[in-house]
Amino acid sequence: TLTRFFAFHFILPFIITALAGVHLLFLHETGSNNPSGISSDSDKIPFHPYYTTKDILGALAMITALTTLVLFSPDLLGDPDNYTPANPLNTPPHIKPEWYFLFAYAILRSIPNKLGGVLALVASILILTAFPLLHTS
């Protein structure tokens, strides 16, 4: 299962890139139209040179910003705890999860019973998945 999971995560970026290429191909063939719903050929904008130039300039701006960040300040977004030498015999007391796991960490820490914390975490996720079903309008 782990091999399949790895293969899926390896192949997924290539699939997304291929779908983006197909999207750009269709946009190039049909052109972009007015979002107000008027379907006349006079309102269509040709893909090249307008969108080609915009996409290339946007990509160059992002690549320039990322390259500047990596080359001139590589530790700007890093955590200082990454420079602490690892000790497998001692767990540091200040460990906390990344921001996207903080909700689960708070739920698990708020209930002293382990089973109760896991059940509360599962219940919180089930409540979030039930919201679209409970929406009546």
Structure tokens at 87: 């000790």
Residues designated as active site: 28, 32, 54-55, 98
> Mean pLDDT per segment of 10 residues, for the chain of length 137 residues?
90 96 84 67 73 92 96 87 85 83 93 95 93 82
* Overall domain count for the chain: 2
Structure tokens at 105: 């960490």
Structure tokens at 96: 């906390």
Range of the domain at 104: 96-134
Residues 59 and 20 in one domain: yes
Residues 6 and 58 in one domain: yes
The confidence score (pLDDT) of residue 21 equals 92
Instruction: Assess contact for 105 and 124: CB atoms under 8 A.
Output: no
The confidence score (pLDDT) of residue 46 equals 75
The confidence score (pLDDT) of residue 132 equals 86
Burial 1-35 (b: 16+ CB within 10 A, else e): eeeeeeeeeeeeeeeeeeeeeeeeeeeeeeeeeee
The confidence score (pLDDT) of residue 116 equals 95
- Does residue 32 sit in helix, strand or coil? strand
Residues 24 and 65 in one domain: yes
pTM here is 0.43
Residues 62 and 6 in one domain: yes
In sequence order, the β-bridge partners of residue 32 are: 45
Structure tokens at 32: 């972009």
For residue 86, is it within any domain? Answer: no
For residue 90, is it within any domain? Answer: no
Residues 108 and 62 in one domain: no
